[in-house]
Amino acid sequence: MDESNAGWWERRAAGLDHDDEVLHGTVTTQAAVVRLRDQLEKAHIARVLPLTPEARVLDLGGGAGRLSLWLAPNVREVTLVEPSEAHLDVARRLAGARGIDNITFVGSTADAFELEPARYDAILIGGMLTHLSDPAIEALVEPLACALAPGGRLVIKEPVSTDGRDRVDERREQGELLYVARFRRRERYVELFGARLPLLYQRATLAHPIPFFLGGTNEAAEATGESSSRWIERLTPLWVRMDPWLQSIELATRATPGLRHLLAPVPVLQDLYVFGAAGADRVGSDAPGLSVVVIAYNEAECLEPVIAELSAHLTTAAIDFELVLVDDGSSDGTLSIMERLAARDARVRLVPLSPNRGIGGALRAGFDAARGEHITWVPADGQIGPDTVAELYRRRGEAPMLTTIYASRADAFYRHIISQTLNLFIRVRSGELAKSGGNYLFERAAWIAHAPREDDSMMISTAFRKNLRDAGVEIVEVSISARARVAGRSKVLNPKTILRTLLSAAKISR
């Protein structure tokens, strides 16, 4: 039997009388549930996979183009590889109808497709590996690793078992076995790919806040009637925005003995894995000595003079550097300024994010994209001057991480009170001193090995230091001064951000 199950999908596709790419390639029959799941999964991928307009994407086993058609308008090119011609026909028709002309359609199984070295900035595999045997997957690992460009990402989304046991789903027609799906242990894909590619992220694709009396996700989906479907469609935009919060609540509930029984068990769920490019833990010969990640949200007034000052100072100091500019979903022209800066200076790289992820998400995207042997960051408001960046880099040999404490800070008194209150709460919860926006410098290898992979909140810096401390990695504190911002107003110490920080801090223990 062809383990790609192409024959099974050919028959299913031929039996559908529509070209809805979201409903092709699934065995779930409730359309509203499938569409909701599609939106939640896409939003999750967007959060963990920063792609630039120049990115080249491979959608391996991409079915009728659910992800290819979604990504193509925002990247340079997409290659859709799919063994089912019926699915490819659907994808071609939809691409033509939508005016999408940067997708290459390839009819092939994964093992027969010839992968070019260092070709792709992102490789997506969704629901394909579950139909392959372990030896077949093992044969793909090396070609996939070689096909990733420097800094590239391999994104895998597969159904997995949560109870440590492998499960098998078989479908037959007239007694003939046509379809086999293997629900492996959650750890298995890390074992298969992790020896060759560093794991950067792993989490369920969406929350499962289903009460115990419904029995589970399958039962909840089957209970979806026509009226329920209409409500699901209306609530989908809100659900997508709430999903990261719902996941956090679900994880905390399932981890609490007295509460876990309130939620239905999930014996099989979809996990999202993100692996870095091969050699992501090593610095290439062409990598700069220092990456400075500059995060910005609606900082059009500040950005240009801050970058000009930073570039000039680091150049004068004879530091081999790159600037990684992260636009966190700005709406004021920040992104266009970044694009102009990147176009005229090869040392400037751009990481555009959409929608807004907050400080933690922006830092994560910047740190993941950075190529330097050492990495630091500054806000785009100019409060942390270039002399501080140069001083931290000069002292880089003192420890794998240099973190900062403010000796002085040009802020209004109420900001000091709020910052000190937050710091006290965070220190009580975690044993770590939050630096209230202070930057830090660290070895790139430390980020690869100890990055907190499930925290995109303002607590990401505290969680990173805690991981280093728990691993016995030395951290040295450096006293710095902060200036007044160049222009505009702060977007950090507002009620929404403070509440998010307190909730994130409450999850961390010593």
Q: What letter represents residue 442's amino acid?
A: F
Rounded average pLDDT over 35-58: 88
State which amino acid sits at residue 324: V
Note the pLDDT of residue 26.
Answer: 73
**pLDDT at position 235:** 84
Angle of the 386-394 helix axis to the 303-316 helix axis, nearest 10: 40
3-state helix, strand, coil in the chain (%, to 5): 40, 25, 35
In this predicted structure, the answer to whether residue 262 has a pLDDT above a threshold of 80 is: yes
pLDDT for 421 equals: 57
Report the range of poorest mean pLDDT among 126-135, 307-316, 499-508. 499-508
Decide which of 198 and 415 is more confident. Answer: 198
- Percentage of the chain surpassing pLDDT 70? 80
pLDDT for 122 beyond 90: yes
Query: Please, which residues bridge with residue 185 across strands?
Result: 161
Residue 427 exposure: Cα atoms within 13 Å on the Cβ side: 10
Q: Which of 185-199, 243-257, 384-398, 419-433 has the lowest mean pLDDT?
A: 419-433
pLDDT tens-place string over residues 68-113: 999 999 999 999 999 988 889 999 999 999 999 999 999 999 989 9
Global confidence as pTM: 0.59
Confidence at residue 386, expressed as pLDDT on a 0 to 100 scale = 94
d(C-alpha 253, C-alpha 247), whole Å: 10
Residue 377's pLDDT is: 95
What one-letter code names the amino acid at 212? F
pLDDT above 50: residue 34: yes
CATH match for 290-506 among 3.90.550.10, 3.20.20.140, 3.40.50.920, 3.10.20.30: 3.90.550.10
Q: How far apart are CA 160 and CA 271, in angstroms?
A: 7
Give me the DSSP letters along 26-48: -----HHHHHHHHHHHHHHHHHH
- Rounded Cα distance, 251 and 204, in Å: 10
Task: Give the pLDDT confidence score for residue 283 in this predicted structure.
Answer: 40
Q: Beta partners for 140?
A: none
The domain segmentation of the chain, as residue ranges, is 6-276, 290-506
Q: Are residues 403 and 384 in contact, defined by beta-carbon separation less than 8 angstroms?
A: no
Instruction: Give kind and range of the element (H or E) at residue 81.
Output: strand 77-81
pLDDT of amino acid 498: 52
pLDDT at 274: 87
Which regions of 396-474 does DSSP assign to beta strands (E)? Answer: 401-409, 440-443
Q: What is the pLDDT of residue 431?
A: 53
Q: What is the pLDDT of residues 309-358, one digit of tens each?
A: 999 999 999 999 999 999 988 888 898 899 889 888 889 988 888 777 78
Q: Identity (one letter) of the amino acid at 483?
A: R
What pLDDT digit, counting tens, does each position of 429-443 carry? 555 544 444 789 999
User: What does the pLDDT average to over 49-54?
Assistant: 85
Q: Provide the pLDDT for residue 282.
A: 40
According to the model, what pLDDT value does residue 203 have? 84
Q: Which residue has the higher pLDDT, 494 or 306?
A: 306
- Band of the pLDDT at 20, cuts 50, 70, 90? confident
Q: Are strands 103-106 and 167-173 parallel, antiparallel or unpaired?
A: unpaired
Residue 273's CB is within 10 A of a number of other CB atoms, namely: 23
Task: Supply the mean pLDDT for the chain.
Answer: 82
The pLDDT tens digits of the residues spanning 442-473 come to 999 899 888 887 667 777 888 899 889 888 89
The domain defined by 6-276 folds into Rossmann fold (3.40.50)
Comparing 50 with 81, which gets the higher pLDDT? 81
pLDDT at residue 393, rounded to an integer = 95
pLDDT at residue 289, rounded to an integer: 92
- Give me the pLDDT at residue 107, please: 93
Please tell me which residue, 346 or 17, carries the higher pLDDT value. Answer: 346
- Tell me if residue 17 falls in helix, strand or coil: coil
Calculate what percentage of the chain has a pLDDT beyond 90: 32
